[in-house]
């Protein structure tokens, strides 16, 4: 409130701005959640259709990419060659 007072803003204006920011933030969150849900559903459709990629194949590709980039793998995943 001290900052608002220093800027000569009434409390009602500060509250309105905070609410507006909150609404914008929630809309962005819902949009992201909807986007993720669409991607998950598309992946499920692919798996049901038999065109999914086995996790072992994905793990091997990830480990190979990490090895080429000389980066550590994610925890719990296979690691590339150690230097």
- Of 68, 52, 66, which is closest to residue 78 (Cα–Cα)? 66
Nearest to 40 by CA among 57, 23, 50, 52: 52
pLDDT digits (tens, 9 = 90+) for 3-26: 766 788 898 999 999 999 999 999
Indicate the pTM of the whole model. 0.51
Are the CB atoms for 80 and 64 separated by under 8 Å? yes
- pLDDT band for 83, please (50, 70, 90 cuts): very low
């Amino acid at each position: 409130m001290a900052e608002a007072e220093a800027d000569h803003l009434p409390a009602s204006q500060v509250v309105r701005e905070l609410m507006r920011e909150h609404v914008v933030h929630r809309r962005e969150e819902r949009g992201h959640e909807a986007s993720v849900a669409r991607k998950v559903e598309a992946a499920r459709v692919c798996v049901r259709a038999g065109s999914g990629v086995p996790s072992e194949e994905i793990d091997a590709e990830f480990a190979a990419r990490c090895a080429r980039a000389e980066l550590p793998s994610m925890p719990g995943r296979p690691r590339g060659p150690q230097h």
